[in-house]
A = this chain, B = another copy of it.
Amino acid sequence: MSKFFFHDAEIDLETLEEGRVSRKIRAHDGGLMMVEVMFKSGAIGYEHRHVHEQVCYCLEGEFEFTIEGQTTRLRPGDSVYIPPSVLHGTVCLGEGRLLDVFTPQREDFLKK
């Protein structure tokens, strides 16, 4: 049976990029995975690509976000759609948080 509820207090914070980036893997099962990523100002989400489709919502702060060579600013309430296998990356301009959702799940994010 699926786990339905993922309370913030129960979720481990993972530290990446020498503390400039951290993340919490939130609700996930079946074909969906939600991941919140916290960035210090100046932190970089290096350009990368994956077969998973993705949507991303700016929760807090300010980001420069690039998808396939197109760049925009994201502020709270702004969101993006990233098709499968398309190159994308971000630079954090003001400390903040992004909420990513993937389909299928990023199995590479789950602990073995």
Partner of A80, one of B4, B31, B77, B80: B4
Identify the 9 closest CB pairs spanning chains A and B, nearest first: A8-B77, A27-B79, A27-B81, A26-B79, A101-B101, A27-B55, A4-B67, A29-B81, A34-B55
Which residues of the partner chain B approach A84 to less than 8 Å between Cβ atoms?
30
Which residues of the partner chain B approach A5 to less than 8 Å between Cβ atoms?
65, 67, 70, 72, 78, 80
> A: which residues have CB within 8 A of B?
2-8, 26-34, 36, 53-57, 59, 65, 67-68, 70, 72, 75-84, 99, 101, 103
The number of times this chain is found in the oligomer is 2
Which residues of the partner chain B approach A30 to less than 8 Å between Cβ atoms?
53, 81, 83-84
Q: Are B34 and A53 in contact (CB under 8 A)?
A: no
Which residues of the partner chain B approach A103 to less than 8 Å between Cβ atoms?
31-32, 103
Q: Are A79 and B31 in contact (CB under 8 A)?
A: no
- A36 to B55: give the CA distance in the assembly, Å: 13
